[in-house]
Amino acid sequence: MKWLGLMVLPLVVPALACKKEEPPAQAPKQPPAVIYGETAAAEDPANLPAAGEAPPPVEVGGNLAPMWTTPLHTLQGKPTTLAAFKGKAILLVNVASKCGLTPQYTALEALQKKYESKGFTVIGFPCNQFGGQEPGSAEEIQEFCSATYGVTFPMMEKVDVNGAGRHPVYQQLTPIADDAAYSGDIRWNFEKFVIGADGETVTRFSPKVKPDDPAVIAAIEAALPKS
């Protein structure tokens, strides 16, 4: 019996030595949850009203050609141009984080969610020229927009929209009149320009006209790419 035990042992031990333990299965990593402010809950496209009647757009033809190639930087500092969005309907708006009109971000994001798949984007340009209401750094603006309003649309670097340092994009846009025949300087935060997907029409709206105004929605729908 002892001899049999000695013969079996060498056969069993090497087999045990070669056996590798499988590492425990790990759950797939999930991206960290984004905690939005209470206002983000209102960013439901279903809350948007139906389109109304849009003001007649201004026919600009090829006059905006320089605007598309003007160098820009995103809020994250990456170089870009508006040409990256050519072929889409664009709602271009100067924004601020500490303005009485700042809650317009809610409707802007709802518009982004509803029309993005149809060839549309909002593009925000932070500006600190109106009551010093956009004083933060790029990082602070990004955090505010994401955490408070869940903004997903493109945001550009902070610019001047009026005066000697007026950004070239706004040099092209400010001569365009709204339906009340106003043209010239940007009047306050959240002045809006709806640019047609063909780049040849622009509809201007004053800051007090909310992004979910039926006239704005109608202008956006008219500006979408023609299928």
Q: Which letter does DSSP use for residue 32 in this model? A: P
How far apart are alpha carbons 209 and 187 in whole angstroms? 12
**CATH number of 171's domain:** 3.40.30.10
Residue 173 located in a structural domain: yes
Question: Does 127 qualify as catalytic in the annotation?
Answer: no
Q: Are 221 and 131 in contact (CB under 8 A)?
A: no
Residues 165-176 have pLDDT tens digits of 999 999 999 999
Contact 215, 196 (CB under 8 A): no
The total of structural domains in the chain comes to 1
- Residue ranges making up the domain that contains 57: 47-223
Which residue spans within 103-160 are E strands per DSSP?
A: 120-126
Dist CA 124 CA 127 (whole Å): 9
Instruction: Supply the pTM of this predicted model.
Output: 0.82
What confidence tens digit (pLDDT) does each residue in 29-59 have? Answer: 443 343 444 455 456 898 899 999 999 999 9
